[in-house]
Structure 1
Amino acid sequence: MIDDARVHSVEEHLERVLDGIGSLDPIELTLLDAQGLLLAETIVSPVALPGFDNAAEDGYAVRSVDTRDATADAPAELPVVGDVVAGAKSRSGMGPGLAMRIMTGAPIPAGADAVIPLDETDGGVARVAVRRPTRSGENIRRAGEDLAAGEPAIGAGAALGPQQIALLASIGRDRVTVRPRPRVVVVSTGSELVEVGQRPAFGEVTDANSYLISAAARDSGADAYRVGIVPDDHSRLLDVLESQLLRADILITTGGVSMGAFDVVKQTLSEVGTVDFVKVAMQPGAPQGFGHLGNHVPIFCLPGNPMSALVAFEVFVRPAIRKLLGKRNIQRATVQAAALERIDSPAGVRQYRRGVLHREANGDYSVTFVGGSGSHLIASMASSNCLVVVDEAVTEVVVGSRVTVIPLLLSHR
């Protein structure tokens, strides 16, 4: 269905998009494959951490009562009756008035209640001189002091970073159930496009959009699959899209969504009856298509100019991917910055301009604009690090005025 009757606001179109995005079934992955994803289960620890009382330092296991009168001038002299190494398979024992050499992480011998660090002794082998009193429990890591057996280790919804993966490994979990990364399939359309590495003839253009959007999808946390170029051919486009339905959680096309006579994407998908094409009050990226194909697979039809495609991705597709990932914050964080240049903006349209965001010495932000407003300018897009948002009611940004800026920082899944 085509809906060109009115211009939609950015918020209206985004709401429709997010309403059309469901959820993905949790999957079980190995720990490293689960990195950056959200846990879909609460993990209860089957073991205590640490699993046994062990030494926090290299030194000597002693009874604190045997060192109570020790001083540097009159150290406590204790016979050394053995060594305890890390990885010892059985627990040693020692009687009153004795000591055992012990390594960091080694189990505390029965009868000992403290560890005196090596540098507070003479380092003796047969006998050791302890130069100060020890306290009961000193330099001993108690079993379960970090995590008791049967306690929740990590709750459902937690993001799995390196620290969380280390904890899961420590309690013996090598696989966990998580919210999966969405599988995003990217298709560039247009008979004028040629593959990267092929020298374009007159009138041809090297396909950059599929790389741009695939990279943006990966940066958003998805697994991206670049299908490549589909010419302006009705049946060919339908065949390619239908062939990708089984492996796609989101489909994205670029190009062919404007009002031109040869905009095949719009013509083809309008016949399917599940994709709406609208005009959004934004610049660049006004023509947008969104709907579903096959078994309710969301499809985004983005404009063909690179800057239009990038802005549309950031405003509409990235939040959809983050929603599928289960992220709480689906939008990029924004900052307020002082404009260092003057620009005009059309009334009633939300403009997104390329910019370079600067951090001033006082901690405030400022921003300069890169290139013009043309949506085809790839080099200036590559030299930018943010999008400057000019609201619909603003027709002029003067030097020094505050503007909303979306930093385009690389994300870590």
Structure 2
Amino acid sequence: MKKILLLLSLALCTSIYAQRIVDESVSFYDIIKPLQPLDASVKTYKVVLNIPYTLTVEDVKAQSLKDFEAEKANHDNVIAQSKADYEEKLANYDIEVKQAKENYETEMKDFKELSLLERLALTEQGKKPKLKTPARPTYVEPAEPIYQEPRLADYLIFDKEALAHNMALNGYEKGEDVIFIIDMSKMEFQENGGQTFYKQPTKLTVLVNGETISEELFGDKSKFLTSSSSNTINLNRYEKDNVNKTLKSIEKHINENYGYTPVSKKITIEFPKNKKREYDDLEQAKIKAISAFRKMTKEAPKERREAAMSDIDNVKDIWVSTLDKVNYSDKKATYNANIAKSIFFNLLSVQTTLGLKDDAEETLELLQEKRIDLDFNYTEKQRITKLEDLVYKL
């Protein structure tokens, strides 16, 4: 009984001095910066698309109606031809029946001349001669033509203005400060050994204030399409798919090089329970950090993002200055190793999530100096290892 009371007493004492660390998560949108940032004076963009496809929905429907009218006008001829074909088959029917019987009799004669064992063997194999009389021809009159709407997906129909309008440069408004001119040629199909290959050269020209800053070529190298011959596949469908795929690829290229692309992310901020108001500074830092990240929405303007990043910098300063208060050797201290762990996790999480390479390396170096004092458990060591990997990948 005394032993149990002693253990309870020790546990109570430990709980008194152990800070309970809790956390709060928040989703936000980070911005991936371009590889080739445009001049700060560039605020707007425009996409000009030149494609060799002029076919319209109206053209296809008009041709479809024309073909239907021609089919209707020729329907009497189709019926007359079908009747003539029927009469010819009917005239040949008796001849075909007679020929089938003669063939059967010849085969049966040869069959009967075989030995008993040979006949049994052929019978078991299903090769015993059988009389195969052709079916008597029947006449079915061709049905009246019925108009069907053309399947537009099988035609090379494009609205180039809509395609160009839907291509976006992230972080910019519509205008003409930077102009992306896309010149696309028709798809070229090639056959080699029964396989089909293709290419569709497309040129991208980038103009800033009327001056060319970049010219690049896409799709100029031959690629494998299918193991079938080109005359057995729907070439229009492949070409239509490739046009859309090429434009998507160019849009991605444009944004990687010149755009500011929002990417959804999530971060977790740790902080100690503050019932006795001993950690007002850390709780206030948590509130400020969560609020800053919430400001970073997908559509957040540049000014709001800059303000949010300024708030995050202030929070990081609070965390770093709090580390100076930590007494790593005294578990009873208000700011002890347990508090330091949560701060290190916060700093590394924020810095790696936002891609702050120099800050993350500095924090990691400081953590390594205090690693023995921090005495991480197994789970915490795993977290640190993952964060280290993220730092080294920045």
| Both proteins in one fold, TM over 0.5 | no
Q: Which has the higher contact order (CA 8 A, sep 6+)?
A: 2
- TM interval, shorter chain, is under 0.3
Report the TM-score when normalising by structure 1.
0.22
Report the TM-score when normalising by structure 2.
0.22
In proportion to residue count, which structure has more strand? 1
Q: Rg larger in 1 or in 2?
A: 2
In proportion to residue count, which structure has more helix? 2
